[in-house]
Amino acid sequence: MTEMTSSESDGLDESAPIKEARLWCDDGWTARVIKNEDDEGWAVSMTIDGEPEPALVGPWTMGRDKKNPKPLDANAFNTLVKTASEFRRRHEQQLHAMFHKKVTVNTDDGRIDVTLDIEPDEYDPYAMLSAFDANGEELARLRVSAGFKLTTSSANAWVANEFRKPA
């Protein structure tokens, strides 16, 4: 067996898929079978490339010997990618819903959509309260406390008060 020189090894494709019994890397995801520290079983972690923490960690099946983990295979990896992707998408949707709220109020001049977009800055969190007419034209924009509660009642009060800063 011959050794590679550094110039030869530079040509290796580091993004090539890895398909081992306990480690699969492909399609931007890494599945790693790990010892479950809480009990005698095994777990699998799914990490998206570039992320420091796994998107999903779950139990993994024992092999036939009831001691070692079942090896990863293509079907298991594809199922894990799908599950982790869905989990991540639901988490992103939940965060979006938590930080972006919308209420519609009806006025004599027509429908007005009032939105609240929270900026969860660690040192200076705030929110932007905005109003849009039925055509999507912005009527008002105001910086408010990140703790501002957008409800139908608070939106109606803000519109009725001609978009002045809420008390």
pLDDT digits (tens, 9 = 90+) for 10-44: 444 456 789 999 999 998 999 999 988 777 789 99
Strand partners, 26: 29
DSSP 147-163: T----HHHHHHHHHTTT
Q: Beta strands of the chain (E only): which ranges?
A: 18-19, 23-26, 29-35, 42-48, 56-60, 100-107, 110-119, 126-133, 138-145
Query: Distance from first CA to last CA of the chain, Å, rounded?
Result: 78
Taking residues 128-157, report their average pLDDT.
95
pLDDT tens across 33-78, in order?
998 877 778 999 999 999 999 999 999 998 888 888 999 999 999 9
Taking residues 105-123, report their average pLDDT.
93
CA distances (Å), origin 24, targets 19, 60, 114, 138: 5, 14, 47, 49
pLDDT value at position 9? 39
pLDDT at 2 over 60: no
Q: To which residue do tokens 């992707």 refer?
A: 85
pTM above 0.75, yes or no: no
pLDDT value at position 107? 93
pLDDT at 143 over 70: yes
Three-class DSSP category at 17: coil
Q: Which of 100, 93, 80 is nearest to 24 (CA)?
A: 80
Band the pLDDT of 109: cuts 50, 70, 90. Answer: confident
Output the average pLDDT for the chain: 88
pLDDT at 8 over 80: no
pLDDT value at position 26? 93
